[in-house]
Amino acid sequence: MPFSHHSHSGQFCAHAKDSLESCILEAISKKLRIFCLTEHMPRAEPRDLYPEEVELGLTPQDLTNRFAEFYTTAVALRDKYKEEITILIGFEVDYIRPSMLAEIERLQETYNFDMFVGSVHHVDEIPIDFSEDVFLKAISTVEALDTGADSPETYNNGAKIERFPEIQVTQSTGEERLFEAYFDTQYSMLTALKPPVIGHFDLIRLKCSDYEVDFTTMSNVWEKIVRNVKFISEYGGMVEINSAATRKGWKYPYPGPDVLQLMKEQGVKFVLSDDSHGTAQVAFGYEKCLDYLEKQGVEEVWYYEWIGWERDIQDGILRPEDRYLPKINANCVERKSARVKDLRGIVSE
């Protein structure tokens, strides 16, 4: 798609494919104008390693070293391809427990970023998008923690699970209870970080029994969604229209129609993201995203660009070739808008 605000590469993400440079070259070949590099933040606890990272024998220190290499590589590629594409450097948040806030702050003190993606992949430290079995484990963990009892379900790899204080105990059970805890966790992330881009807002649907579930039929869940959306609107965050859902069997991208309409009513701005994990997924689902936006009555999307730089949506090539790159900094990028109808036919999927 002309703009992607969320991407990964196999060079720096164990569950992705291909080198960072090959992903950028694919973005250029598909006529993208903006490509945000947002590898996962390093995680300091061994219990937070992804299964594929464990299989590779990686340690938290390895993740820290990898991220340092990612940053150095991204800076060099940003300069190498500046005349062909705007490369913005960021990261994706993993908001697993309250102590993650300190880890994120240390990362932001160590590196300069243009932007970052605020995401939630865990509830009470259990991944909610890995598999159906782990999704069910997340439900049982939330329910066990709700009781306040000290049971095996309240431990993660031998350590007591640290729950976000924003997670409110209710009488709900099953998937509905997990939905509530997910959106409470998301609210904690939103209020602590105020991320410029919110990643896959309703990822919690991915492994549930019916991804088309209507959240408006669940009063507690919907109340939390409304709260989160209003907060995003108030501070000016932008929500990604994330096409990854369409390559995972959905009819539409994240977020679903019920949430999208609420966001539209609240004046939330939308950005486009492919959440690619390799060259084959760059710009995947572009036309389907546009179809979805038009069907839902969304006429405009937003994107980031370096302040003072101009790239026409249709050709994307910089005209002044002697420009110096701006510093990598949120103060050096600006938000611009484009009409959805003007984005048709630009990208080759």
Q: Are β-strands 276-277 and 7-8 bridged in parallel, bridged antiparallel, or unpaired?
A: parallel
CB 313 within 8 A of CB 346: yes
The 10 Å Cβ neighbour count of residue 324 is 7
- Give residue 314's pLDDT: 61
Residue with tokens 């929500």: 239
- Give residue 124's pLDDT: 98
Residue with tokens 């003007």: 342
The 10 Å Cβ neighbour count of residue 76 is 12
Residues pairing with 302 in the sheet: 271, 337
What is the distance between the alpha carbons of residues 122 and 348, in angstroms, rounded to a whole number?
34
- Give residue 317's pLDDT: 52
CB 113 within 8 A of CB 105: no
- Give residue 313's pLDDT: 62
Residue with tokens 């309409």: 261
Number of H-type helices and E-type strands within the chain: 9, 15
- Give residue 346's pLDDT: 79
The domain locations on the chain are 3-343
What is the distance between the alpha carbons of residues 301 and 270, in angstroms, rounded to a whole number?
5
Amino acid at 159: A
DSSP 280-343: GGTTTTHHHHHHHHHHTT--EEEEEEETT----TTT---S-TTPPPPPSSGGGEEEEEEEGGGG
Blockwise average pLDDT, block size 10, the chain, 349 residues = 90 93 95 95 94 93 97 96 93 97 97 98 96 96 96 94 97 98 98 98 97 97 98 98 95 97 98 95 93 97 88 57 79 94 80
CATH class of residue range 3-343: alpha beta
Extract the tokens encoding 215. Answer: 């959240």
Extract the tokens encoding 129. Answer: 């998008």
- Give residue 43's pLDDT: 96
The 10 Å Cβ neighbour count of residue 100 is 24
Length of the chain: 349
- Give residue 219's pLDDT: 97
DSSP H helical ranges for the chain: 20-29, 51-55, 60-80, 100-110, 132-147, 174-193, 219-235, 257-265, 286-295
Amino acid at 183: F
